[in-house]
Structure 1
Amino acid sequence: MNKFVAIVGSNSNKSTNRELLQYMQKHFQNQAEIELVEIKGLPIFKKSADRFVPQEAKDIATKIEAADGVIIATPEYDHSITAALTSALAWLSYGIHPFVDKPVMITGASYGSLGSSRAQSQLRQILDSPELKARIMPSSEFLLGHSLQAFDEDENLKDPNEVKQLDGLFKDFVQFVNISKQLNNANVVNKHKAEQFSWDKD
């Protein structure tokens, strides 16, 4: 059985993105082992002369490296991902590079009708950057709109069409992860390039 890390892309104590990942953890427990990972304990990203990386970021990196794949649930603020998620991804590409060639599924929930569509698009671009270079599942979006009303009292998704779509996307992600395991011939080179990359150099 595959083991996935599910990153809550918010530092809010009450987040419907956390609820979505908790639902996925329970709903797909017979298909994969999903561990929720919080970013709210991370400090705001800051470069330092000694390239210091906080232990919290190193611990998350270790979990990502050991996982078969990563699921990220992002809210949308001002048409973008949260500052907390931006900062977390910066730490996870600063001297450590756990995302290189790692299969990633992007999901998201928002209070409005668009379901974090712009934030998900932005997150794709960030994950494809030279420092991160994740392997993002193509042609897939799970956009949970009106998320405050999306779950019942048992924390299950109410809309059967949403459940059906998520079931299909998750099944595709499992297949994507299994295929990706055969596509790591350039992983050593890709990781080296990520480690050598710097925006400070010409």
Structure 2
Amino acid sequence: MKKFIAIVGTNAKKSTNRTLLQYMKKRYAASAEIEIVEVAGLPLFKKTKEMLVPQYAKEIAQKIDVADGVIIGTPEYDHSIPAILSSALAWLSYGMHPLLDKPVMITGASYGALGASRAQAQLRQILDSPEIKARIMPSSEFLLGNSLKAFDEDGNLNDQEQSEQLDGLFKDFLLFTDISNQLNHANVTNEKEMNNFSWDEGSSRREEEK
């Protein structure tokens, strides 16, 4: 059985993105073990000379390292992802690279009608950056709009079509993780590039030596 880490991309105490990930954990329990991880509690990202990383960020990184894939649920604030999620991803690419070539599925729930579509697009760009290089499942956006009305009292999705769409995407993600394991021929090279990356200069040491 596959093991996935599901990251709640907000520090809000009540979040429909958390509810969505909890729904996925329950609905797909027969196919995968999904552990929900909160970014709440992480400090805002700040570079230091010693490259100090919060212990909690290290713990999240360790969970991601041993997982088969990652699911990220993001809300949308002013057409972007929350600052706490951006900060968490910065910590997870600061002297460590748990998301390198890691399969990632993105979901998003919002109170509006668009279902965090712009935030998901921004998140894809961040995850594809040279400092992170995650492997995001293509054409896989799950956009849950009007999310305050989307769940019943038991935390299940009210709309059958939305449930079926999510079912299909999750099956694709299971397959995507298998395919990703066969696409790691460049992993060693990618790791070397990551190790050569310099946060101080924003470039690789290799480039600095030219």
RMSD across aligned positions (CA):
0.9
Match of 2:70 in 1: 70
Q: What stretches of structure 2 of length at least 5 have no aligned partner?
A: none
Moved more, 109-118 or 188-197: 188-197
Match of 1:110 in 2: 110
Does the 8 Å contact 1:75/1:82 carry over to 2? yes
Match of 1:120 in 2: 120
Q: Distance in 2 between matches of 1:116 and 1:10?
A: 13
1:179-200 Cα offsets, whole Å, 9 max, x none, are 1111112212112212222361
Q: Distance in 2 between matches of 1:89 and 1:195?
A: 17
TM-score, normalized by length of structure 1? 0.98
- Does residue 147 of the first structure (1) align with residue 144 of the second (2)? no
Give the superposition deviation at 1:41: 1.1
Q: Distance in 2 between matches of 1:18 and 1:180?
A: 26
Match of 2:193 in 1: 193
Q: Distance in 1 between matches of 2:159 and 2:80?
A: 26
Q: What percentage of aligned pairs have identical amino acids?
A: 69
Q: Distance in 1 between matches of 2:163 and 2:10?
A: 23
TM-score, normalized by length of structure 2? 0.94
1:114-172 Cα offsets, whole Å, 9 max, x none, are 00000000000000000100000001110000000000011100000100100000000
Match of 2:184 in 1: 184
Moved over 6 A (4+): none
- AA aligned to 2:186 is A
Matches within 5 A, 1:24-35: 24-35=24-35
Q: Distance in 1 between matches of 2:105 and 2:138?
A: 9
Does the 8 Å contact 1:131/1:195 carry over to 2? no
Matches within 5 A, 1:148-187: 148-187=148-187
**How many residue pairs align between the two structures?**
202
